[in-house]
Amino acid sequence: MIWKPVVEIALLWFVIYHVMLFFEGTRAVRVLRGIIILLLIFILSQIFQLDVISLLLTKLFGISIIAILIIFQPEIRQGLARLGQRNIFSQALKEEDLDFALKQIGRAADSLSQSSFGALIAIETNDSLNSYLESGVTVDAKMSSDLLEAIFTPNNPLHDGAVIIQHGRIMAAGCFLPLSENQDISRIYGTRHRAALGLSEQADAILIIISEERKDMSLVYKGKLFSSMGKEEALAKIKGILKPNKNT
């Protein structure tokens, strides 16, 4: 039955590959690498019959389950939180609607940065952001640079939260996003950047941050921060993510 080991190897490769993708960019990836190294040492100790090392590693692996649950607790929680969030029936925006939305975001970004006003905008892609809509105020309005500017103007009750965009519409404002627990984030980044990274650790949204101190635009996508981008560069990257088969 040659097909059985082939299927098993393929399934193991698939699982290991997606586990590595899941942990990519998180602090847990370092621990995962350490575990892989220990596994390789264990295999070599079995091959060369290094009984003492083999015995020690066997005892270590016996108690490692609890340690793994503790070490990977934030990542496990984030993974479980993403279950059921996939937006299976979502439809991609038409080219003209996407261009219009990006144009409005670009105009708002220019105006806000020139006025030294900060902003945080979350654009939904595949993972649903409905659970975060509930923390803000429902807007459900057509994309508008004037509306985005008004929301993020200081003294507006909604300016401290995030705006969530779904299907090219401004769905909610003043939304609270989870802060990242990553301790490696530079201290130069404030709460908006930590909130953007926090949501990016739990969903595949595109986060746009406008810094009121540096007057620049940054993007966060899949746990990666692209800081101090020009407006045209940032908008082209967003379009490339949302329309990967289009020339941007």
Q: Is the pLDDT of residue 247 over 60?
A: no
Domain count along the chain? 2
Task: Tell how strand 217-221 and strand 206-210 pair up.
Answer: antiparallel
pLDDT tens, residue by residue, 155-182: 888 988 999 999 899 999 999 999 987 7
38 and 107 together in one domain: no
pLDDT tens, residue by residue, 113-169: 889 999 999 999 988 888 898 899 999 999 999 999 999 999 888 988 999 999 899
Domain annotation covers residue 248: no
Residue 28 CB neighbours (<10 A): 18
70 and 120 together in one domain: no
109 and 198 together in one domain: yes
115 and 234 together in one domain: yes
Token digits of residue 72:
């990977």
112 and 209 together in one domain: yes
**Taking the CA atoms of the chain, what radius of gyration do you get in angstroms?**
22
The CATH number of the domain holding residue 114 is 3.40.1700.10
Over pLDDT 90: what percentage of the chain?
Answer: 33
CA dihedral 183, 227, 168, 116 (to 10 degrees): 100
pLDDT tens, residue by residue, 186-201: 887 889 999 999 999 8
Task: Tell how strand 206-210 and strand 169-175 pair up.
Answer: unpaired
| Structural domain boundaries enclosing 24 | 3-82
231 and 176 together in one domain: yes
Which of 51, 82, 113 is a domain's end point? Answer: 82
Long-range contacts of 6-13 (CB under 8 A, 24+ apart): none
Average pLDDT, the chain: 82
Residue 28: the pLDDT is 62
Residue 89: the pLDDT is 40
120 and 229 together in one domain: yes
pLDDT tens, residue by residue, 97-107: 899 999 999 99
66 and 173 together in one domain: no
Q: Is the pLDDT of residue 13 over 80?
A: yes
Residue among 201, 236, 231, 242 at smallest CA distance from 119: 231
Calpha distance 95→242 (Å, rounded): 10
Confidence of residue 24 (pLDDT cuts 50, 70, 90): low
Residue 88: the pLDDT is 40
43 and 78 together in one domain: yes
Q: Which of 87-91, 163-167, 201-205 is least confident? A: 87-91
Over pLDDT 70: what percentage of the chain?
Answer: 82
pTM (2 d.p.): 0.66
Which of 82, 117, 146 is a domain's end point? Answer: 82
